[in-house]
Amino acid sequence: MKSEGRSYSLFIAAFVLTLLVSACASVQVVEKIDDYAGTVEQLRARLVENPRDAESLRDLGVLHFMVKRYDEAADFLQKALAITNNDAKAIFYLGMSLEGKGKDEEALARYRQYVDVAETSPYRTLLEGRFEGLTREVLQKQMRSLLAQEGALSYNATVRTAAIFPLTYHGTDPKYQPLGYGMSEMLTVDLGYVEALKLVERLRVEALLQEIKLGASGAVDPSTAPRMGKLLSAERIIGGSLTVTDALDVRVDIASVRAGTAERSETATQSDALDNLFQLEKDLVFRLVKEMGISLTRDEREQIQRRPTGNLQAFLAYSMGLEREALGDFDGASSFYGQAVAIDPTFERASGRREKAEAIKIAGTKEKAMSGAEAIEPPPEKDLRGAGSLMIDRLNNLQMGIGSSFIPGPDSRKPTESVNGELLPEAPKPPQP
């Protein structure tokens, strides 16, 4: 009987221990809003006193986001922003909640508000980084979807809509290859001043090139222009080549192809010393505009004539940054943009690109964005007195109580002696067979 009792006690102890471990695991692994019951109770109490407590509404939204209850999180955060619309933390977590709900376009609209957030706010970088990162993700999805249904697409482009592709490099010195990206960027910026012309976003062009694994080589050709125009809804595809000779002369050939007819315009060619690259680019822009039959205003001409920098080495470093960014290397891009700014501190475009690259490094993905947010304000600790804690307490008490009534030790009593020392009657003898 003693061995059976001991086995039963051990079984109960093991069973209780199993329940205890599984209960603890469920509380630690599966996060629920009840895990923060104490914090939630305090926040709700504040709202009873002041229903327009925007900070409490925001913090409730953050807690619900943490446990992936995105609908409720978005509701709390929208109520908070209805009271104070410049709370950067609320804007960030609302964007993240909308992403959790699969509403990327609405999330982008929230992240875009980073321009209204004070530069001193640590959430500004998170908002900008998530805006840039999600923009690229959305464009990649769109291009992937378009390519999947490419056969059913019809050509439908707006008049005077152009897509500018990176220029192919044909020189012998690879150091100057990134100038193909830099020249394409300058063309995009300068043609962007022409109100009569609509340009396809550079990021959209890059997304298409990445999806079809085309890169810069051979991007513009009369045979491929109709496909590019259909996928980008562009009337014209503009691109060409750039060559730097051993004598440090540069030659740029630019062509404009009508996507609908694959008709190629007369190639615009400009050659000059490499040091005159900026003026060469301006001359090409004016030739392209004239070829498209567009008349420029005086203000447009003045804007086109502006140079991003007066230093060729700074522009080369900037072009290297553009190349690294197109390849998804934002660490390298930020470094090259920084070099451009160090060479020419007045190079504002390089400075702006560096900030964007840094922001993408910090918050380009949802995981990085959350790590950045937790570094700013660590999440509240779980409330161990929340749901499930009562059961754990009971299991703990039960475990402690098992076997506690029996304490082994020396016992000098005779087998027939009672607790008070009196002799017990003898046990009856067993019956005879």
Same domain, 163 and 297: yes
pLDDT of residue 127: 97
Q: What is the distance between the alpha carbons of residues 143 and 150, in angstroms, rounded to a whole number?
A: 10
- CB burial readout 228-262, b (16+ within 10 A) else e: bbbbbbbbbbbbbbbbbeeeeebbbbbbbbbbbeb
Q: What is the mean pLDDT of residues 311-327?
A: 96
pLDDT of residue 426: 58
Question: Is residue 27 scored above 50 in pLDDT?
Answer: no
pLDDT of residue 221: 66
Question: Is residue 297 scored above 50 in pLDDT?
Answer: yes
Q: Which of 288, 287, 354, 347 is nearest to 312 (CA)?
A: 347
Q: End-to-end alpha-carbon separation of the chain, Å?
A: 25
Non-local CB neighbours of 250 within 8 Å, separated by 6+ positions: 179, 242, 243, 244, 271, 272, 273, 274, 277, 280
Cross-strand bridge partners of residue 273:
249
Element (H, E) at 254: strand 249-258
Higher pLDDT: 371 or 5? It is 371
- For residue 105, being part of any structural domain is answered with no
Question: Is residue 343 scored above 90 in pLDDT?
Answer: yes
pLDDT of residue 15: 43
Query: Token pair of 341, please?
Result: 């700014």
Same domain, 302 and 161: yes
Question: Is residue 173 scored above 80 in pLDDT?
Answer: yes
pLDDT of residue 323: 95
Letter for the amino acid at 185?
A: E
- By the 8 A CB rule, do 154 and 229 touch? no
- By the 8 A CB rule, do 187 and 285 touch? yes
Find the range with the poorest average confidence among 38-42, 153-157, 208-212, 282-286: 153-157
- For residue 170, being part of any structural domain is answered with yes
pLDDT of residue 421: 53
Same domain, 189 and 300: yes
Question: Please, what is the average pLDDT of the chain?
Answer: 84
- For residue 61, being part of any structural domain is answered with no
Question: Is residue 20 scored above 60 in pLDDT?
Answer: no
Letter for the amino acid at 341?
A: V
Q: Is residue 51 packed enough to be buried (19+ CB in 10 Å), middle (13-18) or exposed (0-12)?
A: exposed
Letter for the amino acid at 198?
A: K
∠ CA 68-71-77 to the nearest 5 degrees?
95
Please report which confidence band the pLDDT of residue 154 belongs to, taking 50, 70 and 90 as the band edges: confident
pLDDT of residue 431: 60
Domain with 196 in it: what CATH number? 3.40.50.10070
Question: Would you list the DSSP string of 71-121?
Answer: HHHHHHHHHHHHH-TT-HHHHHHHHHHHHHTT-HHHHHHHHGGGGGS-TT-
Residue 212's domain comprises 155-307
pLDDT of residue 204: 94
Cross-strand bridge partners of residue 289:
none
State which of 260, 291, 307 marks the end of a domain: 307
pLDDT of residue 146: 92
pLDDT of residue 79: 97
Residue 309 — φ and ψ, nearest 5°?
-160, 155
Question: Is residue 2 scored above 50 in pLDDT?
Answer: no
Residue with tokens 């702006």: 352
pLDDT of residue 403: 46
- For residue 424, being part of any structural domain is answered with no
State which of 243, 276, 307 marks the end of a domain: 307
Question: Is residue 287 scored above 80 in pLDDT?
Answer: yes
Q: What is the distance between the alpha carbons of residues 323 and 90, in angstroms, rounded to a whole number?
A: 35
Element (H, E) at 361: helix 348-363
- By the 8 A CB rule, do 165 and 218 touch? no
Q: What is the mean pLDDT of residues 221-247?
A: 89
Query: Token pair of 378, please?
Result: 């660590």
Q: What is the distance between the alpha carbons of residues 32 and 66, in angstroms, rounded to a whole number?
A: 9
pLDDT of residue 23: 43
pLDDT of residue 291: 87
The one-character DSSP state at 430 is P
pLDDT of residue 427: 53
Q: How far is CA 194 from the centre of its chain?
A: 32
Query: What is the pTM assigned to this prediction?
Result: 0.77
Same domain, 169 and 287: yes
- For residue 238, being part of any structural domain is answered with yes
Pairing of strands 236-244, 249-258: antiparallel
SS3 assignment for 281-297: HHHHHHHHHHHCCCCCC
pLDDT of residue 214: 60
- For residue 244, being part of any structural domain is answered with yes
Q: Which range has highest mean pLDDT (144-153, 154-163, 186-195, 215-224)?
A: 186-195
Higher pLDDT: 241 or 433? It is 241
Same domain, 302 and 174: yes
Find the range with the poorest average confidence among 122-136, 276-290, 351-365, 406-420: 406-420
pLDDT of residue 380: 83
Question: Is residue 405 scored above 50 in pLDDT?
Answer: no
Please report which confidence band the pLDDT of residue 265 belongs to, taking 50, 70 and 90 as the band edges: confident
Q: Which of 13, 38, 131, 116 is nearest to 385 (CA)?
A: 38
pLDDT of residue 36: 87
- For residue 339, being part of any structural domain is answered with no
Could you read off the pLDDT of 357-393 as tens digits, one per residue? 999 999 999 999 999 999 999 988 887 554 444 444 4
Query: Token pair of 419, please?
Result: 């607790």
pLDDT of residue 258: 87
Q: Express as a percent the part of the chain with pLDDT over 90.
A: 64
Q: Which range has highest mean pLDDT (9-13, 154-158, 197-201)?
A: 197-201
Find the range with the poorest average confidence among 85-89, 108-112, 219-223, 365-369: 219-223
- For residue 312, being part of any structural domain is answered with no
Non-local CB neighbours of 325 within 8 Å, separated by 6+ positions: 333, 353, 357
Question: Is residue 347 scored above 90 in pLDDT?
Answer: yes
Question: Is residue 29 scored above 50 in pLDDT?
Answer: no
Query: Token pair of 339, please?
Result: 């070099």
Higher pLDDT: 380 or 121? It is 121
State which of 307, 335, 351 marks the end of a domain: 307
- The number of folded domains in the chain is 2
Element (H, E) at 256: strand 249-258
Same domain, 161 and 300: yes
